[in-house]
Structure 1
Amino acid sequence: MKVSDILRVKGGTLYTVQPQESLESAIATMSQFDIGSLAVIEHGDLVGMLTFREVIHTLAANGGSLGGRTVRSVMDDHPMTCTPQTELDQVRPMMLERHTRYMPVMDNKMLMGVISFYDVAKAVVDSQNFENKMLKAYIRDWPEEESTKNEPNFP
């Protein structure tokens, strides 16, 4: 399974913010849409990611205050990315290694979407459930072997 498969199921909605926007405004957007990340876009290019992790770190460092900060001052300006053709088996260890919950999907310089660790886990579970269903159907329809049909049944 590829990242493009997740994006196809997830849909095309992408939430973005500009780096000069206030952190307060970005948090309001995250809250309004019940999302954990925003792609930070400047002049059409991805320049960072803002996630609830950066927000929590900022609040903790400032005694619970946002302190009038901008998105640029707290965003992750080197987010790990993948491509639509990246295999899910490659994405999982990447996300685990860097404790990344949100990963931008890039096709050259174009942002195609953002996948979350939840999206990846759901895709894996859905794939395993489908495989289990197919295996159970196959076992249920298992053809009886010729040699056992004519043998006597001894207790």
Structure 2
Amino acid sequence: MRTRRSNKVADLLKTKAPGAVTIKPSESIAILARRLQQERMGAMVVSKDGRSVDGIISERDVTYALALHRGQLHTLPVSSLMTKNVVTCSPQDNLAEVSKVMAARHIRHVPVVDGGCLVGVIGMRDVFMHRLDEMQHVTQLLRSYIASE
């Protein structure tokens, strides 16, 4: 019995829309909040050119900053709140290893970079759903095998 082993980040990316939504570091937090809402996303890659990764910013970053900046929060540039040391992965990376790093570092979104260019973003939900699909596939194979006995 052969199972479909899709254990690379590239396999997960094939199931998602191509590319990644980015925001410029000079954009305001107000614009970021609106775009997160419109795109129904929890984080965005910060990029001057849409290809490089200058940082990442999440709804959590905005929420935590609210306590410090209150009424001025919406006017701040994204660059003032973004995480600059971004953990990235490549399409060739093992998905299980990337998910371990995500769990250990409490990271919910990881930009995928290939040859220095941003090619996508994977989130914990993406990883979970991908793993669930794999388990359902294996379950179907086992049921077929048992039924043929």
Query: With structure 1 as the length reference, what TM-score do the two structures score?
Result: 0.87
Query: 1:27 pairs with 29, 33, 50, which one?
Result: 33
Q: Unaligned 5+ residue runs, structure 1?
A: 143-155
CA distance in 2, matches of 1:116, 1:93: 12
Structure 2 partner of 1:152: none
Check if 1:138 corresponds to 2:145.
Answer: yes
Instruction: State the structure with bigger RCO (CA 8 A, min sep 6), 1 or 2.
Output: 2
Letter in 1 for 2:147: R
Check if 1:129 corresponds to 2:136.
Answer: yes
Structure 2 partner of 1:3: 9
Check if 1:114 corresponds to 2:129.
Answer: no
Letter in 2 for 1:17: I
CA distance in 1, matches of 2:112, 2:74: 31
Check if 1:102 corresponds to 2:144.
Answer: no
Secondary structure at the residue paired with 2:92?
coil
CA distance in 2, matches of 1:16, 1:90: 25
Letter in 2 for 1:74: L
Mean Cα displacement is larger for which, 76-85 or 5-14? 5-14
CA distance in 2, matches of 1:13, 1:107: 12
Task: Could you list the structure 1 runs, at least 4 aligned residues long, displaced by more than 6 angstroms after superposition.
Answer: none
How far off its partner does 1:61 sit? 2.2
CA distance in 2, matches of 1:3, 1:46: 18
Aligned identity (percent) is: 32
Could you say what the CA RMSD is over the residues aligned between the two structures, in angstroms?
1.3
Count residues with an aligned counterpart.
142
Letter in 2 for 1:62: H
Check if 1:86 corresponds to 2:86.
Answer: no
How far off its partner does 1:79 sit? 1.2
CA distance in 1, matches of 2:85, 2:112: 13
Check if 1:70 corresponds to 2:77.
Answer: yes
How far off its partner does 1:13 sit? 4.5
